[in-house]
Amino acid sequence: DLRIKDTIYIGWKKPPEGWIKLNCDGACKGGEESSGCGGLFRNSDGRWMKGYIKKIGVCGAFHAELCGMYLGLDMAWRERIPQLIVES
């Protein structure tokens, strides 16, 4: 059985001039294994500015994703980043 598959190219795009982009993520394993999250900030040149990671214990994928986003938004607030694009 041959099936035709489409190739989809996925890539990161720089934010507009004067903006900062936060890319955040979370991950978990089933059962009693630990979950974690993290993220990074890049400027409009695409240069890494800062990042974070955190072990968050046992939880589901949705919780891990939200934790990664929350930590990034909290860091952006504390750093007073006025123009932020968030990708998760």
For the stretch 41-62, pLDDT in tens is 999 999 999 999 999 988 888 9
Listed residue (65, 72, 28, 82) closest to 50, CA to CA: 72
pTM score: 0.83
DSSP 8-state class, residue 86: E
Point out which residues pair with 23 in neighbouring strands.
40, 87
Task: Write the single-letter amino acid at 69.
Answer: M
Give the whole-angstrom CA distance, residue 64 versus residue 50: 20
Higher pLDDT, 6 or 40: 40
